[in-house]
Structure 1
Amino acid sequence: MKLQLTTICLFLFSALILAQDGIPTDYLDSEFHKSRRDAFREKMPENSIAVLFTNPVRNRANDVDYIYHQDPNFYYLTGYKEPNGVLVIFSEEQVNDAGINYNEIIYVQEKDPRAEQWNGTRLGTEGAKEKLGFQAAYNGSDFSNSGIDYASFDKVMFINFENDYRDSKRNQADLYSLIETFKTQANYSEVAIPDPIKERAYEMIKATEIENSANVAQNLGRALEYYPDLKDDKIIEAYVNATDDNTRIELKQQVIKIESETPKSNLDTQSLSTIMGGLRQIKTEEEMVLLTKAIRISAMGQREIMKAMHPGMSETEVQGVHEYVYKKYGSEYEGYPSIVGAGNNGCVLHYIENNKMKVENDLVLMDLGAEYHGYTADVTRTIPANGKFTKEQKIIYDIVYQSQEAGIAAATVGNAYSATDAACRKVITDSLIELGLIKSNEESWKYFPHGTSHYLGLDVHDAGLYGAFEPNMVITVEPGIYIPEGSDCDEKWWGIAVRIEDDILITENGPINLSAEAPRKSEEIEKLMKEKSALDDFTLPSLD
């Protein structure tokens, strides 16, 4: 589907259309979520079933929980925002005892007037039918009597469980109980579920011809650095360290023998994520309306802080200005913990303490994103707190800017996912060598230690398959240079941290920078920082 960006822009920053009860009406509708379930079903293997669970309720402290946030896959396929639910999708039509056909079931929280008095209205089964468009909707307590014969399916697809959900004891239809029911009925056991990383390593060994085995061994060697648990597998470790072809041939045969002797299970923890990645990496027109709004809201936050910034501000105050702008535009949440790092704090890539009391004359790295109706932006700007880059700050900043320009230009249809990183890294590496900060290409990771791009959507690091770029993907391009205090270079560079991050829509006609309203050029930033801010006259009484 080709997106009409001009059409999308007509929706943006118009007044929110409100229903009579004051609730925004620009959420994704039930037809969108149904279309996503239909698209998912088309990709399912024959005679398969997919079982998805809601996110757990996470405890903040004592009897206070964090604000609930739905699992993105579950929301994408249902629109359901409450906890303690299950979605079941069948690849083919099923027939119940009454002779009624169905191919999907949702299990939801039961209506409970007392609980709703404290925590808000629940949809219940009738709401799931009326507002979410499900024909088969049941209470969670019915899941244990679903009658689903998991053994009759060739594949039972689900995402493996993390140890992050509690047994509430009082609720026999909470997430804990729902998962326990599934585990029992599907004959789940930890032993039966293969380690996906180890499984992938074995697949690489099995599928590799001997003449390419050295390259695979090298790739597996790098994997051992990222996944230390793989070192416990003697075959993988021996394959990496083998010095001759005969040894690798023998190890390959051992892998084939092990897999042939391993009991087969129909439980599949990989395919569901793969199918969802393929769907979610391509944004529909409806999604782009919300995602673009989230991005433009975030860009406006960056613009406003550029006007309001002064050396006496604290990192938390800077964060507050951004998040106030988000709320003014109707954003419900931040897409991730806000990062505001002044000076050397900016060298900590995921610095979220934001507790420096005065940003003084440092560069301030601000990596923040508004979430709007589930879709999150991810926009970073780095600005001088006093409105003027020093000589050294400007040199580093302009290198990162030129790097990002090269990365954005590489975000074109057909290019490999790694193209943006390669383009950005070349500019930064060449420039740092020229400045004498590094001596070789391999040292680029010293001051540019992260990747350049990730998908963006319902997650800040959204689902995707990391293949060649396709139209209607949205990615970030975020090169950076970070020179911590004490680095092996001239002290004049110490404490300079610069990251510039924008959200890029990939189209047949080239990349579109959706966050371009926030200035990126150093001269444009300095110019905007001279403008008066609406917050200049906003002062509060001293509490001292």
Structure 2
Amino acid sequence: MKLQLTTLCLFLFSMIISAQDGIPTDYLKSDFHKSRREAFREKMPENSVAVLFSNPVRNRANDVDYIYHQDPNFYYLTGYNEPNGVLMIFSDEQVNDAGINYNEILYVQEKDPRKEQWNGFRLGTEGAKDKLGFTLAYNGSDFSNSGIDYVSFDKVMFINFEDDYRDSKRDQADLYSLVETFKTQINYSEDAIPDPIKERVYEMIKVTDVENSANVAQNIGRALEYYPDLKNDKIITEYVNTTDNNTRIELKQQVIKIESETPKSNLDTETLSRIMGGLRQIKTEEEMVLLTKAVRISAMGQREIMKAMHPGMSETEIQGVHEYVYKKYGSEYEGYPSIVGAGNNGCVLHYIENNKMKVENDLVLMDLGAEYHGYTADVTRTIPANGTFNKEQKIIYDLVYKSQEAGIAAATVGNAFNATDAACRKVIDEGLIALGLIKSSKESRKYFPHGTSHYLGLDVHDAGLYGAFEPNMVITVEPGIYIPEGSDCDEKWWGIAVRIEDDILITENGPINLSAEAPRKSDEIEKLMKEKSALDDFTLPSLD
């Protein structure tokens, strides 16, 4: 309760100060990012170093780039919102050649008046010290001369490279150059990085007694369907396919021999993500201010379109109403591509074309989220374009609503992460069977094919460990039913797609629906759709 009251006060305060002239003043402060680095350091293994890189610049076409978006982990730990950066965090105090003690270093873009004239202000090293609170900040060009002896650490933690960035020949301190420098410094090669999935399978083989090997082989066989690259490993495939216990014993000995002969590496691509997941899954008071605002803005978008909706609107126009509301409230971006699917289009889970010219009398599924100062919402409503659910639409909608109510009720401290999914599926399975749409729960995934919950924060699918629910986690609860045209059922159900998604704060006193301002009950939606919209009188001249 204390967190909720504090969050409300901070939220109201942020509304006041961000309304002042000039740029917003409710961004996260440097003390927040510093506290996150300290929390990260506390979880680091002894004698370790973590190296994080900023996100690459993404090219849209020719000489036009996409709007830059920082890597969430990098932003969480630094507050730095520019490309071509490197963060180093050490588990223990280090001493440089000048005799200065340090436990973190930030490398940033160098100040350049000409480039800043074209592409905007750069913090530079002094800005990184003054604004971000770093004691040691250097230009990216200095990274190659860091003098760090990575061999001396028991663990060098980083997220493995996607190699999906361009090399700017004119910039020797771009992300490509920084990564290549780091690879050279740590003697990086793909072979030196253990495959974590393969390692887990080998561990299963190594610790399994022959009496249980058949069951373990069956479990590994299922894993091959999800991780087909494992099929290239002869030991694993033979372990799965053989029925001879002596063969499995021999294969187990081969695994033990391979592990004993494999040189040990201090390169670690797993622990960093695990630490960040543990930190980011629990939201602080400062984070909740921004995340709550993003969710409330998104709920306001849903409310406004409920009032503005009519059968003659296009999917793109509906998207535009949402996103206009976002901008009106100060949201910088959308947290993910907006989904507006009318009728059968709603059956495509990530439908983003949004190009149907008239929604007519269909249900319109709207899955959109405002991003506010880096934190994104994820709110879905499904409403009848003409303002009234028909009989079949209402039956399916009310079933999904009932399912979501059960899912939200399951979002309590101590429950397993999949508790919300299990609760939602039970209701939907029983409802679909009662309607004759399926004969058993085994068939329900053809109409409810996705999971029910994910974390929410700096990413729409935020980092987390997917363990038991803890206080101050924020998750989604989003059951759905999708019956595409041509489905094996009565045609009266065809083209009905319903998803209801809300953003839920888990507390000691039960779940709190942060997006509750957007109506969910079918009768409440119909009631709001009768109200006048501020956009009713907004008309533009025809261009035809």
- TM bracket (short chain): over 0.9
Contact 2:412–2:510 (8 Å) recurs in 1: yes
Q: Distance in 2 between matches of 1:390 and 1:20?
A: 47
> 3-state SS of the aligned residue for 1:247?
helix
Change (3 A) 1:34 1:522: same
Measured after TM superposition, the shift of residue 489 of structure 1 is 0.7
Q: Distance in 1 between matches of 2:426 and 2:260?
A: 45
Change (3 A) 1:253 1:511: farther
Q: Distance in 2 between matches of 1:417 and 1:502?
A: 16
Measured after TM superposition, the shift of residue 5 of structure 1 is 3.8
Contact 1:16–1:24 (8 Å) recurs in 2: no
Q: Distance in 2 between matches of 1:403 and 1:214?
A: 38
Change (3 A) 1:212 1:437: farther
**More deviation, 228-237/75-84:** 228-237
Change (3 A) 1:2 1:165: farther
Q: How does 1:129-148 map to 2 (within 5 A)?
A: 129-148=129-148
Change (3 A) 1:219 1:332: farther
> 3-state SS of the aligned residue for 1:129?
helix
Deviations 1:470-522 (A, max 9, x none): 11111111111111111111111111111111111111111111111111111
**More deviation, 433-442/389-398:** 433-442
Q: Which residue is equivalent to 1:400?
A: 400
Change (3 A) 1:430 1:364: same
Change (3 A) 1:394 1:210: farther
Q: Distance in 1 between matches of 2:128 and 2:421?
A: 44
> 3-state SS of the aligned residue for 1:344?
helix
Q: TM-score, normalised by structure 2?
A: 0.97
Change (3 A) 1:215 1:464: farther
Deviations 1:337-379 (A, max 9, x none): 0000000100101000001111111010000000000000000
Q: Show structure 2 runs of 5+ residues with no match.
A: none
Change (3 A) 1:255 1:54: same
Q: Distance in 1 between matches of 2:173 and 2:469?
A: 42
Deviations 1:66-120 (A, max 9, x none): 0000000000000000000000000000001111100000000000000000011
Q: Distance in 1 between matches of 2:125 and 2:21?
A: 22
Deviations 1:314-349 (A, max 9, x none): 001110000001001100000000000000100101
Deviations 1:269-313 (A, max 9, x none): 000000000000011111011011101111111111111001101
Q: Distance in 1 between matches of 2:453 and 2:248?
A: 35
> 3-state SS of the aligned residue for 2:18?
coil
Contact 1:12–1:293 (8 Å) recurs in 2: no
Identity of aligned residues (%): 90
Q: Distance in 1 between matches of 2:268 and 2:407?
A: 37
> 3-state SS of the aligned residue for 2:2?
coil
**More deviation, 207-216/33-42:** 207-216
> 3-state SS of the aligned residue for 2:98?
coil
Contact 2:6–2:285 (8 Å) recurs in 1: no
Measured after TM superposition, the shift of residue 258 of structure 1 is 1.8
Q: Distance in 2 between matches of 1:251 and 1:450?
A: 37
Taking only aligned residues, the RMSD between alpha carbons, in angstroms, comes to 1.7
Q: Distance in 1 between matches of 2:218 and 2:391?
A: 42
Contact 2:11–2:290 (8 Å) recurs in 1: no
> 3-state SS of the aligned residue for 2:13?
coil
Aligned pairs, number = 544
> 3-state SS of the aligned residue for 1:449?
coil
Measured after TM superposition, the shift of residue 438 of structure 1 is 1.0
Measured after TM superposition, the shift of residue 246 of structure 1 is 4.6
Measured after TM superposition, the shift of residue 237 of structure 1 is 2.6
Contact 1:387–1:530 (8 Å) recurs in 2: yes
Contact 1:347–1:482 (8 Å) recurs in 2: yes
Contact 1:54–1:71 (8 Å) recurs in 2: yes
Change (3 A) 1:501 1:19: closer
Change (3 A) 1:262 1:532: same
Contact 1:453–1:475 (8 Å) recurs in 2: yes
Q: Distance in 2 between matches of 1:52 and 1:291?
A: 24
Measured after TM superposition, the shift of residue 12 of structure 1 is 4.2
Change (3 A) 1:493 1:417: same
Change (3 A) 1:359 1:20: closer
Q: Which residue is equivalent to 2:445?
A: 445
Measured after TM superposition, the shift of residue 436 of structure 1 is 1.2
Q: Distance in 1 between matches of 2:490 and 2:250?
A: 53
> 3-state SS of the aligned residue for 2:55?
coil
**More deviation, 421-430/189-198:** 189-198
Q: Distance in 2 between matches of 1:286 and 1:170?
A: 40
Measured after TM superposition, the shift of residue 13 of structure 1 is 8.7
Contact 2:7–2:286 (8 Å) recurs in 1: no
Measured after TM superposition, the shift of residue 262 of structure 1 is 1.5
Change (3 A) 1:219 1:362: farther
Measured after TM superposition, the shift of residue 260 of structure 1 is 1.7
> 3-state SS of the aligned residue for 1:235?
helix
Measured after TM superposition, the shift of residue 213 of structure 1 is 4.4
Contact 2:407–2:423 (8 Å) recurs in 1: yes
Q: TM-score, normalised by structure 1?
A: 0.97
Contact 1:448–1:481 (8 Å) recurs in 2: yes
Deviations 1:93-150 (A, max 9, x none): 0001111100000000000000000011100000000000000000000000000001
Change (3 A) 1:180 1:212: same
1:277 aligns with 2:277: yes
Q: Distance in 2 between matches of 1:299 and 1:343?
A: 22
Q: Distance in 2 between matches of 1:210 and 1:526?
A: 63
Q: Distance in 2 between matches of 1:136 and 1:248?
A: 54
Q: Distance in 2 between matches of 1:272 and 1:97?
A: 28
Q: Distance in 2 between matches of 1:403 and 1:303?
A: 22
> 3-state SS of the aligned residue for 1:12?
helix
Q: Distance in 2 between matches of 1:419 and 1:103?
A: 41
